[in-house]
Amino acid sequence: METVQLDKDVFQTTAANGVRVLSERVGAVRSVAVGIWVRSASVHEARHQMGVSHLLEHMVFKGTARRTAQQIALELETRGGSLDAYTSRDTTAFQARVLDADLPRALDVLTDLVRQPTLRQGDLDLERNVILEEINTVQDTPDDLVFDLTAEALWPEHPYGYSILGTRESVSDLSAEDLRRLHRRAYYPGNCVIVAAGNLEHQALLDLVAQQGWFEATNEGGEQAPQPEVEAAVRGREVRRPKDTAQTHIVLATDTVQFADPRKYALMTLANVFGGGMSSRLFQRVREELGLAYAVYAYSHFYRRVGVLGVYVGPQPKTAAQAVDAIRSEYARLAREGLGPDVLERAKRQTQGQLMLMLESPTSRMYRLASLAVHGESYRSLDATLGDIASLTVAQTAAVAREFFAPERQTMVWLGPN
């Protein structure tokens, strides 16, 4: 095994079988956040099996070789801890937050879930209905549904455009053997990253990981499905989906840069000025000056191969066109003018403050370490990252604004009454 010190209290160990273990000591707390990230998710799915990664994430909680579903639920909750999981575009994560003394128990439960789920057909018959109800919930929640429709509009032929939940048809066709096949193929040590942050020592974490067999286990039978190459998203498209709603839900979005691209800090800073809070241009123009919507904001996401920058607004149908015109005008202004020196300095301080506040909890620090590991970005200390943001220039942000905020680049999705 190779262990390197990445920062004062940050360590990374890579075992011969490929599993990576990262930790950050936060001595001022009495808790630990610990998680296992599997580098397998919706981006690795075939269209006819859309949603299989998310369904597997649910199914591991139905029972393991050593625990029933109820025992899994009780194991940490009765000690004040929590256990959760999620499926994203790039990864599936299983995580716990516990008192520091309960780290061994938490890692045992997480290992049990990831390595030894029973995946019984009878459990699938029940859990499938839960997933179908989750899909129904999204269908009945237009301000969620519009984002699924936006991903599909941007990447109609690529898994980045698939619904993470899947469709009613694809989920209904999945079998227990499909889940077992995915588990055998993707849930092997070399495809996993184990991360912890809180009141712990790295060597003690390694000892616990070794006790759970992560270092001795082989990768036999494991073979991650290849991730399809990502071409440029569809740009400048307009999609209208009729739905009987009180509001028209609109997203304008485009593809941007991948997680490891240093331009993401310029994008984050620009997005803050554009629609990142009450002081942002979109909030001031669309809500405060024109009174066209209660909710209007910009967002940015960064995946392993690509990123997304977008704007959401929820106006009344009769004022939807006026809201879009106002947003497009702000897009054009930012693309044309960039940010002046004073505005840029304020925006950089805002972005730096958000990053620092985000890392106040062990869970957030765990997420940060895991994101770097699974998205292929070299570790950067918080101070170095803050320095990267501080060094942004007017010319750099102007170039990013011209490329990614051009109004003609944005694909627009409307969901609401005709």
The catalytic site residues sit at 57
d(CA 155, CA 44): 14
d(CA 116, CA 96): 17
Contacts 24+ apart (CB under 8 A), 226-230: 226/44, 227/43, 227/44, 227/159, 227/304, 227/305, 228/43, 228/158, 228/159, 229/305, 230/155, 230/158, 230/160, 230/305, 230/306
Which of 239, 253, 321 minimizes the C-alpha distance to 286?
321
Contact 1, 210 (CB under 8 A): no
Both structure tokens of 398:
């102007």
* 3-class DSSP state of 259: coil
d(CA 49, CA 44): 10
d(CA 302, CA 258): 6
Q: Can you tell me which residue has the tokens 């991650």?
A: 224
Which of 279, 240, 315, 275 minimizes the C-alpha distance to 405?
275
d(CA 373, CA 2): 15
d(CA 211, CA 342): 55
Residues with Cβ within 8 Å of 309's Cβ and at least 6 positions away in sequence, in order, are 253, 254, 256, 267, 271, 298, 299, 300, 404, 405
Which of 13, 9, 10, 4 minimizes the C-alpha distance to 215?
13
CA distances from 22 to 73, 195, 235, 340, 371 (A): 26, 5, 38, 40, 11
Which of 140, 33, 135, 119 minimizes the C-alpha distance to 76?
33
Where does residue 284 rank: exposed (0-12), middle (13-18), buried (19+ CB within 10 A)?
middle
d(CA 223, CA 270): 39
